[in-house]
Amino acid sequence: MRNVGYGNGIFVAVGDNGTILASPDGLTWTQRTSPTRDRLWSVAYGNGLFVAVGPSGTILTSRDGARWTLQTSWFPLVSVTYGNGLFVAVGARGTILTSSDGANWTKQTSPTDDLLIAVTYGNGIFVAVGRYGTILTSP
């Protein structure tokens, strides 16, 4: 597995070959049917929705952690987070995508071509970091 998220009383873990596991307690895990065989590298929960992303441009969404819908971004994505009513996904060549609903994504202008490997939200600010020391912030 590559990443785990929590929301609505459910843990969701994602990984290679489109693997999705769900657990109510972190002890007992159930494999869920995935609409993709692509790698999934990150999962986040917000506004009643799980969003998972992967480097093949894959975006998956689920309200319950069990049934997943495939979205395609065409951008290689590595990490996703949720904060302030917004999902933010980052990835290759400085890619930054935002979405309020997990289905409709907008590409944002990025000040870097660095591979962005992680993004998080806290204290009113999004922070993304890149492979070569890049740190980006945005409210």
Per-residue pLDDT of the chain (139 residues; tens, 9 = 90+): 999 999 999 999 999 999 999 999 999 999 999 999 999 999 999 999 999 999 999 999 999 999 999 987 889 999 999 999 999 999 999 999 999 999 999 999 999 999 999 999 999 999 999 999 999 999 9
Element of type H or E holding 82:
strand 77-83
Strand-pair partners of 86: 83
Token representation of residue 108: 């944002």
Q: What is the CA radius of gyration of the chain?
A: 14
- CA–CA separation, 42 and 53 (whole Å): 6
Ordered by where they begin, the domains of the chain are 3-138 (2.120.10.80)
* 69 neighbors 36 (Cβ within 8 angstroms): no
